[in-house]
């Protein structure tokens, strides 16, 4: 009976020991993915900021610039691309809408970002674009991979339409979470005008050709990233734009079009931290809690099986024999 029980326990020990790596290396990459229909909104502010008045072509100090950034999963497009890509794909249609202190539009730049649902690696397909211009992304954008590593990554810059390293700068604590801090600096770079600008009757696509005035941009980009989910819990940019040369400036070499320290609004930081904290549990369940729990359980069952097997092999005294009774003196 003991031998039969030990064999059953041994079978369960082997099962749980084998299940642990299967969960981590097989189930995790197939089950933990970005949902294709996800919708997310983020509000960022620069207070105060410098903004160009396109009526007078003079920069002025304003109380606040607001940037509303939306990410909307395009399920229909992701299903089309999945059929040819042979893997789960997410298509994010995003919009970065910048408005001045009066609520009027400064610029509105749409993007389509196509990426692998688990690894966040870019998937190149028709429709990948920034502001209507076809692009070919390299590296990540908006989100880091699950189980982010302590290393540099290639990060796509939508203004410059190119990728550049974003550097790991160490581990920090943010709102009670242990996060990885990343920085990227884009040096002064000539960039295209946004297609939508607060200049009535002006075609931004030919503005540079008509006036000779070019648009330049630099930024220092900072992210605090949860290493488990790869989700940024906070992001900031020290952002600066200039118009240079040409007839649009009336003989001036350059003017500041925008300058400010852009930060996530506190209420959106709070909601992002709550969302990331909730998603952490799912990822940790698949990568840590269950695999290690099953390994410990398998080890315990193995130990118990060996104990029962050792007891079943002990020699038993023959039936009907007793120890001799002591003889009274």
pLDDT digit string (tens) for 54-101? 888 899 999 999 999 999 999 999 999 998 888 999 999 999 999 999
**Average pLDDT, rounded, for the chain:** 90
Asked if 40 and 65 sit in the same domain, the reply is yes
Please report whether residue 325 resides in a domain.
no
- Does the predicted model carry a pTM greater than 0.75? yes
Asked if 41 and 166 sit in the same domain, the reply is yes
Cα separation of 143 and 146, whole Å? 9
- Give me the residue label for tokens 């302590």: 150
Half-sphere exposure of 103 (CA within 13 A, CB side): 0
Please report whether residue 37 resides in a domain.
yes
Please report whether residue 251 resides in a domain.
yes
Q: Provide CB contacts within 8 A for 329, sequence distance 6+.
A: none
Asked if 108 and 87 sit in the same domain, the reply is yes
Asked if 230 and 306 sit in the same domain, the reply is no
DSSP annotation of 251: T
Please report whether residue 96 resides in a domain.
yes
Counting the structural domains of the chain, the total is 2
Domain hosting residue 120, numbered range: 32-264
Asked if 242 and 307 sit in the same domain, the reply is no
DSSP bridge partners of 53: 58
Please report whether residue 90 resides in a domain.
yes
Q: Tell me the residue ranges of DSSP E strands in 117-253.
A: 129-130, 133-134, 153-157, 162-174, 177-191, 214-225, 232-244
Asked if 248 and 304 sit in the same domain, the reply is no
Cα separation of 42 and 67, whole Å? 8
Among candidates 19, 30, 5, 94, which has minimal Cα distance to 296? 19
Cα separation of 283 and 253, whole Å? 53
Tens of pLDDT, residues 249-281: 888 999 999 999 999 999 999 999 999 999 999
Please report whether residue 272 resides in a domain.
no
Asked if 150 and 231 sit in the same domain, the reply is yes
Question: Lowest-confidence range among 14-18, 30-34, 155-159, 302-306?
Answer: 302-306
Please report whether residue 226 resides in a domain.
yes
Please report whether residue 126 resides in a domain.
yes
DSSP annotation of 204: G
Asked if 160 and 301 sit in the same domain, the reply is no
CA-atom Rg of the chain in angstroms: 30
Asked if 248 and 306 sit in the same domain, the reply is no
CA dihedral 238, 235, 264, 74 (to 10 degrees): 120
Asked if 195 and 301 sit in the same domain, the reply is no
Asked if 158 and 208 sit in the same domain, the reply is yes
Cα separation of 20 and 289, whole Å? 10
Tens of pLDDT, residues 151-201: 999 999 999 999 999 999 999 999 999 999 999 999 999 999 999 888 777
| pLDDT interval class at 321 (50, 70, 90) | low
Asked if 46 and 16 sit in the same domain, the reply is no
DSSP bridge partners of 89: 116
């Amino acid at each position: 009976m003991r031998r039969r029980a030990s064999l059953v326990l041994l079978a369960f020990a082997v099962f749980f020991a084998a299940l642990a790596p299967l969960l981590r290396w097989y189930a995790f990459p197939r089950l933990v993915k970005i949902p294709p229909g996800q919708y997310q909104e983020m509000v960022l502010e620069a207070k105060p900021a410098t903004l160009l008045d396109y009526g007078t072509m003079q920069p002025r100090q304003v109380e606040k610039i607001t940037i509303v950034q939306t990410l909307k999963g395009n399920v229909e497009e992701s299903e089309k691309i999945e059929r040819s890509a042979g893997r789960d794909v997410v298509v994010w249609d995003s919009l970065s809408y910048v408005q001045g202190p009066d609520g009027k539009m400064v610029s509105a730049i749409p993007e389509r970002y196509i990426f692998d649902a688990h690894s966040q690696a870019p998937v190149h397909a028709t429709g990948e674009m920034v502001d209507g211009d076809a692009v070919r992304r390299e590296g990540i954008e908006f989100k880091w991979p699950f189980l982010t590593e302590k290393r540099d990554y290639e990060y796509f810059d939508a203004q410059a339409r190119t990728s550049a390293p974003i550097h790991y700068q160490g581990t920090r604590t943010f709102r009670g979470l242990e996060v990885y801090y990343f920085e990227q600096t884009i040096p002064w770079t000539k960039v295209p005008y946004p297609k939508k600008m607060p200049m009535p009757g002006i075609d931004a696509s030919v503005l540079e050709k008509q006036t000779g005035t070019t648009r330049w941009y630099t930024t220092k980009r900072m992210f605090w990233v949860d290493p488990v989910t790869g989700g940024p819990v906070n992001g900031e940019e020290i952002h600066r734009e200039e118009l240079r040369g040409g007839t649009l400036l009336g003989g001036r070499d350059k003017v500041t079009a925008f300058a400010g320290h852009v930060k996530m609004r506190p209420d959106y930081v709070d909601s992002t931290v709550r969302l990331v904290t909730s998603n952490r549990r799912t990822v940790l369940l698949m990568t840590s809690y269950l695999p290690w729990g099953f390994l410990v359980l398998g080890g315990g069952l193995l130990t118990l099986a060996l104990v029962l097997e050792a007891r079943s092999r002990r020699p038993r005294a023959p039936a009907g024999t007793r120890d001799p009774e002591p003889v009274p003196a």
